[in-house]
Structure 1
Amino acid sequence: MTDPPSLRFVVPAGVDDPLRVSGGNVYDRHIRDGLRRRGWDVEVCEAADAGAAASVLRGAPDGSRVLVDGLVAGWAPAAVEEAARRLRLTVLAHMVTASFPDATGAAIEAERRALASAHGLIVTSDWTAAELARRELAEPGRTAVAAPGTVAAEPCPPPADEGQLLCVGVIAPHKGQDTLLAALARLRREEWSCTIAGSSEASPQFAARIARQASALGGRVRLTGVLDDRALDDAYRHCALLIAPSRVESSGMAIADARARGIPVLGAETGGIPDALAAGGGMLVRPDDPAALAAALDAWLSDPALRARLRREALAARATLPTWDDTVTRVADVLEAA
């Protein structure tokens, strides 16, 4: 009888913390749990900083299989380089640090070193793979795409109020909530309300600006902070349209959640969002453009035929979505070949 495949999975500290909800954490949890259901022996090691990451990597036995979350790898590129000389090391990159407008030179260099030293690289979208290749951060032949899956959900019936808008994601500049609020301030129509759900801890100064912008709209915008699973599901069930106004986005876990429920999406034409909406049921606008976003929102609010078409397309697209089992299969194949 052969031993089960084993894996040391190095993830950011708080991967299971309900107050630290992020797309990366959700993805990591699904991979961990999915591999374990398949009989893998998965040892999860949480790292809060570069020192902790280095300690975890040094403790891995020679020749063992190790998967490192890209965020952690970027904290400790020297430790990743050292570990790659004796471990079967793969990096799981949820994003491209170099694509962020505010990325520092040090962060970009750390990303380059970590990715260059890994034996294999798993990314979460075709756009991420192409962006890494374009920036000469990873060779296409060394990169495998494992797109986020979706959790089966009942389709949401159209809400009575077609003006209920929802935006889900950490409150941070790359998510573009400021663009959304500037667009809402321009709307010609008044029959709308908007819920913005997400942690404000990642970028406190930006979050404070978002709170001021929201307040100026006279109570029509609700900032909820992080929602637990039940509250988030309730938010999806009562929304008519999900808005993804990101400046940078590899794929978008909120988009996947909306797609699973047949909810139309209005997204910025950036990163992996166009691919995520390729099957229909979505609208795309230029990123960082409040006027373009406002025009699309006015069209949604004023055109019943547009709403009906997008909802039909969104419901039909549910059949095309990958499952988390598909994602785990892809990751397992890459790890076994490492």
Structure 2
Amino acid sequence: MQADRLWFGVPGDLETRTGGYGYDREIIGGLRALGHPVEILHWPGDFPQPGLDTLEIVHDSLRALPDGSDVLIDGLAFSAMPGVVAAEACRLNLTALVHHPLCLENGLSVSDAARLERAEHAALPHARRIIVTSPETAREVATRFSVPPERITVVLPGCSPRKRATPSSPPLILSVGSLIERKGHDTLIDALAQLTDLDWDARIVGNESADPPLASALRQRARDRGIANRLTFAGMVENAESEMMKAAIFALASRYEGYGMAFAEALAHGLPIVGCRTGAVQEVVPANAGRLVPPDDPRAFADALRELLEDPVLRANVSENAWRAGQDLPGWPVAAQQVAGCLAEARRLNRIGHRE
């Protein structure tokens, strides 16, 4: 018997090379491999601040679905349209996929952050189940938005097949993350500027279209700090694995992460990690697999990088610890199985609700 059809609502371009969209793509592929028919609802990309036209387009697409349909909606959209999900929650079996709370994105004005938090607080109760990508995000959703913990399911991102990096010379410091304020690339640049006496190259791989003025400012910052000739802005790449394979150290100064898929991928390639003690990073990166420092502290970040750059033996030991930790990370088939189970539970709850 064919599995129930699932509609997956995705705002923006599903092929965008970010951790969130990567998670969505892998889950869609994994569910299909398990025999679950998945239809993608392609929605405009102006979330989490959708215009009225976008909300009408999204609502029309949901209205067109048969009663009782299973619908999984990326949190970038779900949490930003409480009116739409409230209108369809009694008719459709809605599940939200929350990568991290929208109101915790860096760079928001106080009023925008407050507006998004209100929207999330109003929208999330209409989900039969909420899938989150880390225990940290589960705690945040439960406490910040008053969601009963039993309605939240943690599905950790999977990792691609593990391949150990073979670092080039001089050591390559790699950072992977969209050029947005939350990723802390300004902290990384200021830290690298304190290491010009050492031999290294650096690359920042990530989408530059989310905040073009910031991307331009980061390039100028590198020029102002005198490291533009040693730091390459690589933009988006089709697959970051080839970048990981050449790196000696993974460095990402995120101010917050709901999970941090790039950190997990770095572990899976045996890369020593320099990051910040914030959000779920502390849950993903074992203490012996890198160095975690306070966010927004270029001096501490530079000191952690210096320690690894100056001591090849230490770097090799930390690399071995990272490699071992990476082998324990779940694969994407496991994540897809867990999502399938969560959707089945949401369907069961929906049927109980209708009987009542």
TM-score of the alignment, normalized to the shorter chain, above 0.5: yes
Q: Which moved more, 1:301-310 or 1:327-336?
A: 301-310
* Counterpart Cα distance in 1 of 2:287 and 2:326: 9
Percentage identity across paired residues of the two chains: 36
Please, which of 157, 164, 188 is the counterpart of residue 155 of structure 1?
164
Structure 1 position 77 matched with structure 2 position 82 = yes
**Matches for 1:17-166 after TM superposition, within 5 Å:** 20-48=16-44, 49-103=54-108, 104=112, 105-162=114-171, 164-166=172-174
SS in 1 for 2:79: helix
Change (3 A) 1:120 1:200: same
**Matches for 1:139-288 after TM superposition, within 5 Å:** 139-162=148-171, 164-187=172-195, 189-216=197-224, 217-229=227-239, 232-278=240-286, 280-288=288-296
1:157-210 CA deviation, whole Å, 9 max, x = no partner? 343333x10111110000100111111112263212110111111112211110
- Structure 2 stretches lacking a partner, 5+ long: 45-53, 347-356
Query: Partner amino acid for 2:276?
Result: A
User: Aligned-pair distance for 1:22?
Assistant: 1.1
Q: TM-score, normalised by structure 2?
A: 0.89
* Counterpart Cα distance in 1 of 2:76 and 2:164: 33
Q: 1:243, 1:267 within 8 Å by CA — same for their partners in 2?
A: yes
Structure 1 position 10 matched with structure 2 position 15 = no
Change (3 A) 1:304 1:202: same
User: Aligned-pair distance for 1:111?
Assistant: 1.7
Query: Partner amino acid for 1:125?
Result: S
* Counterpart Cα distance in 1 of 2:271 and 2:199: 19
Query: Partner amino acid for 1:142?
Result: R
User: Aligned-pair distance for 1:74?
Assistant: 2.9
Other-structure match for 1:293: 301
User: Aligned-pair distance for 1:123?
Assistant: 0.2
User: Aligned-pair distance for 1:51?
Assistant: 2.9
1:110-167 CA deviation, whole Å, 9 max, x = no partner? 22222121111000011101111231342211110001000103211343333x1011
Please, which of 296, 300, 320 is the counterpart of residue 328 of structure 2?
320
Q: 2:255, 2:278 within 8 Å by CA — same for their partners in 1?
A: yes
* Counterpart Cα distance in 2 of 1:143 and 1:157: 39
SS in 2 for 1:75: coil
User: Aligned-pair distance for 1:291?
Assistant: 1.1
Q: 1:53, 1:76 within 8 Å by CA — same for their partners in 2?
A: no
Q: 2:2, 2:36 within 8 Å by CA — same for their partners in 1?
A: no
SS in 2 for 1:228: coil
Query: Partner amino acid for 2:316?
Result: A
Q: 2:130, 2:151 within 8 Å by CA — same for their partners in 1?
A: yes
1:273-298 CA deviation, whole Å, 9 max, x = no partner? 11111374221111111111011111
* Counterpart Cα distance in 1 of 2:211 and 2:146: 27
Change (3 A) 1:186 1:279: closer
Q: Which moved more, 1:241-250 or 1:275-284?
A: 275-284
SS in 2 for 1:242: strand
User: Aligned-pair distance for 1:248?
Assistant: 1.3
Q: 1:127, 1:250 within 8 Å by CA — same for their partners in 2?
A: yes
Other-structure match for 2:350: none
Q: Which moved more, 1:213-222 or 1:145-154?
A: 213-222
Other-structure match for 2:47: none
1:238-286 CA deviation, whole Å, 9 max, x = no partner? 1101112101111112112212211121111111111111374221111
Q: TM-score, normalised by structure 1?
A: 0.93
Q: 2:134, 2:155 within 8 Å by CA — same for their partners in 1?
A: yes
Q: Which runs of 4+ in 1 moved over 6 A?
A: none
1:46-69 CA deviation, whole Å, 9 max, x = no partner? 111433322222222111111010
Q: Which moved more, 1:284-293 or 1:250-259?
A: 250-259
Query: Partner amino acid for 1:111?
Result: E
